[in-house]
A and B are shown apart, each in its own frame.
Chain A
């Protein structure tokens, strides 16, 4: 009996229940995911002791008008020796992966190099073993390794006896001395939770004591001494960093404006992500507001349809408190369904969020369902249930109850007035139009950026960066580079092979100043050493002369510049002589190539200079390979095997298709596009559910009225037309009002210089047309359905 009543109630108010469950499941999923991200990125405590007094110290240089991180380890070591006001300062850097040859799969593992005091500065304790101490001091070259919790679990299955065991990373063996706790994070580097720590002086290529070049990956982690003021300490550290730079990297100190920054660790960790998190919070709030308007409307309708129940209960002695309690219980049970569904979908979406957002937001590796989220879910459930019950009870007073009790005919009970219901629908639409306009702008902005052409050929091109670091002899490296190039050239389905000093997508930017014959600096440029085939493989349009085989061997080679650099010359640059900061010889410009654009990373779009070069025997070298359509693509393990067969000391630094490289740099934009697209899709769904639910309620409540009209001879078409026309009026008013508001907001935003952005009118109108079509359908379907019912049944209100 209980079940039949329950089923009957569910069926009778199915539009109501469907609207509530659908709207809330969608909204709460987004809200819970965003709350989880906020909790992880902004609220969750760092896994380091006394993390409030933990600071990151790093060097900056002004490059192309932007601050780029960069200093070197010698500077940091000098600062450490001389600085006062600091309790302690540790140091770390990371720039490459090592192969864990211990395992048959030979996985790439991110490797971090830390000073012997780093873990003491971080105030952390190992899960197993110990951390670095004086035994791993700089200069000792102690082959110790500390596994991150993730690496321990992933590669060693959480082996409790791992301490003291020997592991092979690339060509060297290390002894595992400890395991860190889980969920570590470092500024701009989330991989630390899956990495392996080695002593500072144990990198294969980078000597922290001797290096004189700028590196962006060296950072200090410090704590202030008791009673020290951050401002004064920061000023002193900046001075010391600049002084150290003059000694340790004098050429760079002359070229760039060097600076340093001290910021709280948590702030450095969050970086730019705070802005993105706020965008997410704004989006989720907007969606929640829409959902609440949506559900508030539906709840008003529901409340009106329950007046009879309340009136009868009231007549038979129900107190207001009892009715409220009863309603609250019903709503809490009802809302627990979408809340549970949303929690389920939230857990499912974590993996998706991690895969699309891990490079955009820090600490996403530790994204998980926490007690905070569950409590938040319960609070949301209770809050919305209270709101629903309040809406339901606030709609009734004694007069409306009496009126409901005394209505003598069927279908003529208290109803939501047409004006109120139309206003509510109008409000929903208004809000949706505003959301759609905003999200369509973001969507189009991010999509346009993502889909911007690169102006080079990326199809069927693969980039292979080979690591020759273990080969000390330069001539041997040169020979190997040539041999590897020939090896791949001889492969089936490989059409062409070219070499360069760097990959096309500037993951490593080789920037330096360019001077004219009078030794005046023209610009900072990205210098790439390439062979004679490189530009044609990328289909870069060339004006002037291409490189020849002879050019590549010349001591005074000609150079080709990009159009961006050419634009900085007065008149034609062809024939003019230029000199790079790192090369003493003057070189003649013989050609200009078209620019390369980097969708999603316009900061990469800098002036470029191409210098002809053959294999130079560098510690890394990049091959660009063009393959045929039949080629299945290169696999990391296969290429690794081929390389180690040529020489077992070789390793892969990077292997990827050029298309993947470009996709990788535009992932922020794609993340934004997915967010905006998701938000607009969900808002569209919600407005459809909301309007369909509301219209459905309205026409159902007017079945009696429609039945009378049908009985009096009105035909279906005419009634449908009249009902749609009645709805169309408030919808059109809302639509126009919302559009006017959006137009005003867009116009106003364009007067703010830093907000200047393109307006995508066509796409916006298309979005609004789509919304109109869906809204029309959402109105049409329930009306048409009710009008199909037998007028006699409608009159009997069956």
Chain B
């Protein structure tokens, strides 16, 4: 049995909007083991991104517990969370979020800067990561000199840079055409095979199926949590999702 890296229990989160509180997450429980490839999917507004923000320590839950590597991280202050983010978590965003005014290599090296690595170490590691995503020759360019697919690969290299082991990926193909989307997903698959734990948020069932495990959210709750190959369960939940979507419609 591989080591448990993430565990969330009873996570709830509400947002105040126009004097009315909207509960986005209504008690989420699951855990993730080292090397797992988990896809979180669900319809728009089901709470996928909010959950990913909480998993990435960018946001805090209202209630519930969140453990990383067995340590309780919910309730930590901003600096403690930043420390864990810099060492344990890498992000890949739908909009890439590369810094336009920094070169590709500097973008990739960014997480290392806040970890305290010196410039030489940062450059070396950033080049290594760019090599891993096949963009070593683009190190000196600026992001807007790259295609969308290349930009997303740079953003994956950046998530790899801190060697954090956990990669949170938010709709990585949302801004890409299918060819580039496929290439990015293939890269994520490859990284997972090399040992990176990946939690992927996507609404594309084709890409969700590439994960070893799919967590389906609906209305702020886990509708299903299915491992690859468990077909019977998969079909049961597939039916439930379709039924729910019809009700919403």
Seen from chain A, the residues whose Cβ lies within 8 Å of a Cβ on chain B are 1, 4-5, 8-9, 12, 308-309, 311-322, 398, 401-402, 405-410, 798
Contacts and interface: CB of A to CB of B under 8 A. Distances in A.
B144 interface: yes
B125 to A, nearest CB: 13
Contacts of B174: 408
A333 to B, nearest CB: 16
B85 A320 contact: no
B78 A405 contact: no
In this complex, the member of A8, A309, A312 whose beta carbon has the largest number of chain B beta carbons within 10 angstroms is: A312
Interface residues of B, number: 42
A741 B61 CA distance: 51
B95 A312 contact: no
Nearest to B142: A8
B220 interface: no
27 contacts: A1-B140, A4-B103, A8-B101, A8-B142, A311-B97, A312-B110, A314-B58, A314-B82, A315-B58, A315-B91, A316-B85, A316-B86, A317-B111, A317-B114, A317-B162, A318-B86, A319-B79, A320-B82, A402-B53, A402-B59, A405-B93, A406-B49, A406-B93, A406-B170, A407-B95, A408-B95, A798-B144
Given A405-B97, A407-B95, A409-B95, A316 B114 contact: yes
Nearest to A317: B86
Contacts of B82: 314, 317-320
Chain B interface, >50% SS class: mixed
Contact of A405 (B58, B106, B142): B58
A215 to B, nearest CB: 73
Interface in B53-76: 53, 56, 58-59
Given A319-B78, A321-B79, A402-B58, A408 B175 contact: yes
Contacts of B93: 405-406
B101 A12 contact: yes
Contacts of A401: 58
A17 to B, nearest CB: 13
Given A313-B110, A316-B91, A319-B78, A5 B102 contact: yes
Contacts of A398: 58-59
Contacts of A409: 95
A313 B58 contact: no
B79 A320 contact: yes
A9 B100 CA distance: 9
A474 to B, nearest CB: 88
B99 interface: yes
B7 interface: no
Chain A interface, >50% SS class: helix
A316 B103 contact: no
A271 to B, nearest CB: 56
A410 B100 CA distance: 12
B153 interface: no
Given A315-B97, A317-B82, A408-B95, 12 more contacts: A1-B106, A5-B103, A9-B101, A311-B97, A315-B58, A318-B82, A318-B86, A320-B78, A321-B79, A405-B91, A405-B95, A406-B95
Contacts of A402: 53, 58-59
A317 to B, nearest CB: 2
B122 interface: no
Nearest to B56: A315
Given A318-B82, A408-B175, A313 B114 contact: yes
Contact of B114 (A8, A9, A322): A322
A324 B53 CA distance: 23
B131 interface: no
Nearest to B114: A318
B162 A316 contact: yes
Contacts of B56: 315
Contacts of B111: 316-317
A5 B85 contact: no
B59 A312 contact: no
A325 to B, nearest CB: 11
A240 B186 CA distance: 106
A318 to B, nearest CB: 4
B13 interface: no
A258 B87 CA distance: 87
Contacts of A406: 49, 93-95, 170
Given A308-B99, A322-B114, A409-B95, A317 B58 contact: no
Interface in B24-64: 49, 53, 56, 58-59
A316 B97 CA distance: 11
